[in-house]
Structure 1
Amino acid sequence: MNLTHLQTFYKVAQLGGFSAAADALLVSKGMISRHVQALEASLNTRLFHRTTRKVTLTEAGQRLFDKAAEIERLSLNATREIKDLTQERSGSLKFTAPHELGRTICRDVIPDFAKAFPNVEISLKFGAEESDIEFGTYDIALRAVDHLPDNVIARSFGTTRNILVASTDYLAGRMLTQPRDLFSHSAILSNHQPSWNNWFLQSAQTGETIEIAMGGQISAADYAPQKELACQGLGIANLPFQQVAPLIREGHLIHILPNWSCPRHRVHLLYAKQRHTPEKIRGFNDLLFKWKQDHPDYFVET
């Protein structure tokens, strides 16, 4: 079996089309088609169902795709291990995390890592999407995920907690002593996930839970503008504690309803399984855990 043809088949199946595979492999669509036809001829079977709108795998194609994925994984792992052996303290390190958590790490962790590993190129991407670790798109990720990916090492990093905050200007003259008072207040809403505007609160004393469907004039997709709008007195915000802790300490925001907690999200540190974990990855992970240890109120262990 021609391995180049197999790689082409794998990319078509992975991306769901010949044009997408051609763009990814930087070759013509015609070459992609010829490779797949040659592979089908050598195996004497059809690998794809083709229509004008989509390409799907046949039963034989699905079997081959599963095997091709294993080969791809072995190839990437071998490449990674060789690079890591020769680039213990050099080469590149790619890290991903949610937006606001990533910005905090940029401030508190990245400078120390850059100083300790001056020959390592650091590539960062922050966002909500789940980036690939298993196949090497990123080396390390901090993620709040319900289902952990296969073939990665997942270390518990603790549990984030959101709190409700507002400015002293906003709270002046307004009653807010129990969750039901929230019905008469304005929130800084999320337009990233509208469901996040239903706030679930639980009493630390009785365990009672309550859901509040919040309303408000202003919405934002990210925590940063929500935080700024709350500081400007435009409403109550539901934000991760580590994002607002400095503002609470400085008196810009007030933690409201402190005896009621919002849902928590377990965070994991993810990196690929490999025989030899290079020093640059171990060093970055150590700095992340040291940062967490230095800020025990940012994450809850339970």
Structure 2
Amino acid sequence: MPKTYNLNRLAYFAAVIETGSFTRAADRLKVTKGVVSSQITQLEQDVQATLLIRSTRKVSPTEAGQIFYARCTTILSEAEEAFEELSQLTAVPAGTLRLTAPNDYGTAIVTPVVAAFRRQYPTCKVEFQLGESLSDLTNGELDLAIRVGWLTDSALQARKLGGFRQLLVGTTDYLSRMPDIAHPDDLQGIDFVSNARMSDPGRCRFENPQGDEVTIHIKNTLSIDSTPALLEAVKAGAGLAVLPDYLVQDHVLAGTLQTVLPGWTLPDGGIYTVYPPSRFRPAKVTAFVSMLTIAEKARLNR
């Protein structure tokens, strides 16, 4: 039969290492010094190793104690997070939810979810920022970020929520005045409204069902750093543009805009929830992401 250990003794051992004293460890744990001493003695007997060097001035770990302490801190941290996560299963979202999302996706998709979240959890407040920066996640000022596109490597935690297609669109009136566009090469010389936030806004990589790939560089006749403004420019007849489906699908269905080169596709993008570098997520974050996930699935199934 395998030997069993009293894991509570790990907390006593960690407290002694971190405070450097049996007395200070007892004060932290709100027990007597004798209790701490007896627990450490029993722990050393359990593991058959000397973990601490005791002197009249201080207590310090042996080499074995240092190695054991590193593992103890991991175990204690995991245990604390497990209890916190379990408590969230029955917790009611509370406090202020602080989140950010890009202007276009945030306005079109996230804002209605924010409103629904407030209706369902009226005791919660929401601070919603439209923007691209992730810096406020690392300094603790935000609980959640929604990001769209292609994520770069980051110490932050990300989970894919959904995806979107990039569509090349223009108005029917504008396209009626242009030569027929049957192949990506036919886009040369066509007015193109580009997103100034893109690293290479004129570069478009198309692929057809047969696996043929064509990369072209389109002449940018108008450059705008706001996707909603870019959409308005296209609707006003300024030219063609590549826009995400979540922003233009209603306009395409209504006939306001028309897709160009429907037999060719552009690279799909992702929609992500990005969290601060902590495994623990408050109930307000979990509840909001659940609602946003439902909204995103409904959008994809339209």
Task: Compute the TM-score of the two structures, normalised by the length of structure 2.
Answer: 0.64
Q: Distance in 1 between matches of 2:143 and 2:246?
A: 24
Matched residue, 2:247: 243
Q: Determine whether 1:224 maps to 2:228.
A: yes
Distance between the aligned counterparts of 2:195 and 2:297, measured in 1? 30
Maintained 8 Å contact 2:162/2:297: no
For the Cα contact (< 8 Å) 1:88–1:278, is it kept in 2? no
Which residue number in structure 1 is paired with residue 273 of structure 2? 269
Q: Deviations over 1:17-37 (max 9, x none)?
A: xxxxxxxxxxxxxxxxxxxxx
| CA–CA distance in structure 2, aligned partners of residues 236 and 222 of structure 1 | 15
Larger Rg computed on CA atoms: 2
List runs of 5+ in structure 2 lacking aligned partners. Answer: 1-76
Question: 1:111 aligns to what?
Answer: 115
Residue by residue, what CA displacement relative to the aligned partner does 1:30-88 show, whole Å, maximum 9, x if unpaired?
xxxxxxxxxxxxxxxxxxxxxxxxxxxxxxxxxxxxxxxxxxxx9xx99xx8xx98x95
Secondary structure, in 3 states, of the residue corresponding to 2:201? helix
What is the identity percentage for the equivalent residue pairs of Structure 1 and Structure 2?
Answer: 25
Report the equivalent of 2:142: 138
Task: Indicate the SS of the match to 1:260.
Answer: coil
Q: Is the 8 A contact 1:145 1:268 kept in 2?
A: no
Task: Flag as ranges the 4+ runs of structure 1 deviating above 3 A.
Answer: 144-149, 272-277
**Aligned residue number for residue 166 of structure 1:** 170
Q: Does 1:191 align with 2:199?
A: no
Cα offset for 1:274?
Answer: 5.2
Structure 2 counterpart of 1:293, one-letter code = K
Structure 2 residue matching 1:138: 3-state secondary structure: coil
Q: In 2, distance between residues paired with 1:126 and 1:148?
A: 22
Task: Classify 1:241/1:275 alpha carbon distance in 2 versus 1 (closer, same or farther; 3 Å).
Answer: closer
Residues 148, 154 of structure 1: 8 Å contact kept = no
Counterpart for residue 283 of structure 2: 279
Going from structure 1 to structure 2, the CA distance change for 1:296 and 1:287 (only over 3 Å counts) comes to same
Q: CA deviation at 1:189?
A: 2.1
Q: Once the 2 structures are TM-superposed, how far is the Cα of residue 295 of structure 1 from its aligned partner?
A: 1.1
**Counterpart contact for 2:103–2:131, Cα < 8 Å:** yes
**Does the alignment pair 1:124 with 2:124?**
no
> For 2:258, which of 249, 254, 259 is the aligned residue?
254
Structure 1 residue identity aligned to 2:190 = H
2:221 is paired with a residue whose SS is: coil
CA distance in 2, matches of 1:273, 1:88: 23
Alpha-carbon shift at residue 137 of structure 1 (Å): 2.1
**SS of residue matched to 1:218:** strand
Cα distance in 2 between the residues matched to 1:207 and 1:130: 36
> Following TM superposition, by how much is the alpha carbon of 1:266 offset from its aligned partner in structure 2, in angstroms?
2.6
CA–CA distance in structure 1, aligned partners of residues 276 and 194 of structure 2: 36
1:276–1:215 distance in 2 versus 1, CA, 3 Å: closer
Q: Is the 8 A contact 1:189 1:215 kept in 2?
A: no
Distance 1:296 1:218, change over 3 A: same
CA distance 1:185–1:286, shift in 2 (3 Å)? same
